[in-house]
Amino acid sequence: MSAVLEPTADDSGCTLLHVDMDAFYASVSLRERPELQGTPVVVGGNGTRGVVLSATYEARAYGVRSAMPTTRARRLCPQATFLAPDFEAYTRVSAGVMELFRTVTPLVEPLSLDEAFLDVGGAVRRLGRPARIAQLLRDRVADEQGITCSVGVAPSKLVAKLASTASKPDGLLVVPADSVLAFLHPLPVSALWGVGEKTAEVLGRLGLRTVGDLAHVPAHTLRRALGPGAGAALHAMAWGRDSRRVTPLEPERSTGAEETFSRDVDDPRAIHRELLRLSQRTAERLRLAGHVGRTVVVKVRFSDFTTITRSRTLRESTDVAQEIYATARGLFDGLGLQRARIRLVGVRVEGLAELERTPRQLALDERATGWRDAERAADRAAARFGSGAVRPATLVRTTSGEPDDRGGRDDASARDHPFVRTRQDPSTRAGRPA
Query: Each residue of 94-151: pLDDT tens digit?
Result: 999 999 999 999 999 999 999 999 999 999 999 999 999 999 999 999 999 999 999 9
Residue 405 has pLDDT above 50, yes or no: no
333 is in an annotated binding site: no
Residue 425 has pLDDT above 60, yes or no: no
Average pLDDT estimate for 160-170: 95
- β-partners of residue 318 are 293
Q: Which of 32, 60, 51, 236 lies closest to 146 in space, CA to CA?
A: 32
Give residue 413's pLDDT band: very low, low, confident or very high (50, 70, 90).
very low
Residue 350 known to be catalytic = no
Taking the C-alpha atoms of residue 170 and residue 21, their distance in angstroms, rounded to an integer, is 8
Dihedral Cα 328, 329, 332, 334, nearest 10 deg: -110
Give residue 355's pLDDT band: very low, low, confident or very high (50, 70, 90).
confident
Q: Please list, residue by residue across 341-354, b when 16 or more beta carbons sit within 10 angstroms of its beta carbon and e when fewer do.
A: ebbbbbbbbebbee
Distances in whole angstroms, Cα of residue 183 to Cα of each of 162, 169, 204, 216, 228? 9, 18, 21, 16, 26
Average pLDDT estimate for 218-235: 90
Give residue 434's pLDDT band: very low, low, confident or very high (50, 70, 90).
very low
- β-partners of residue 345 are 259, 300
Q: Mean pLDDT for the chain?
A: 83
Measure CA 407 to chain center: 39
- Same-fold call for 185-238 versus 254-428: no
Give residue 304's pLDDT band: very low, low, confident or very high (50, 70, 90).
confident
- Region at 301 (left for phi over 0; alpha for psi -120 to 50; beta for the rest): beta
Strand extents, DSSP E, 56-112: 81-83, 108-112
CATH 3.30.1490.100 assigned to 254-428: yes
Residue 105 contacts residue 122 (beta carbons within 8 Å): yes
Tens of pLDDT, residue by residue over 256-281, are 998 888 889 999 999 999 999 999 99
pLDDT of residue 48: 75
Q: Which residue has the higher pLDDT, 409 or 14?
A: 14
Domain residues of the chain, as ranges?
24-87, 185-238, 254-428
What CATH architecture does domain 24-87 belong to? 3-Layer(aba) Sandwich (3.40)
Indicate which residue of 109, 115, 274, 284 is catalytic.
115
Taking the C-alpha atoms of residue 293 and residue 279, their distance in angstroms, rounded to an integer, is 13
Residue 431 has pLDDT above 90, yes or no: no
What topology is assigned to 185-238 in CATH? DNA polymerase; domain 1 (1.10.150)
Tens of pLDDT, residue by residue over 181-202, are 999 999 999 999 888 888 999 9
Helices 268-289 and 371-385, axial angle in degrees (round to 10): 80
Taking the C-alpha atoms of residue 396 and residue 410, their distance in angstroms, rounded to an integer, is 15
| Helices marked H in 167-227 | 180-184, 197-205, 211-215, 219-226
Residue 343 contacts residue 277 (beta carbons within 8 Å): no
119 is in an annotated binding site: no
pLDDT of residue 10: 83
| DSSP 8-state class, residue 34 | G
Phi first, then psi: what are they for 114, rounded to 5°? -120, 10
Residue 372 has pLDDT above 70, yes or no: no
Distances in whole angstroms, Cα of residue 251 to Cα of each of 100, 298, 351, 362? 17, 22, 11, 27
**Does pTM surpass 0.75?**
no
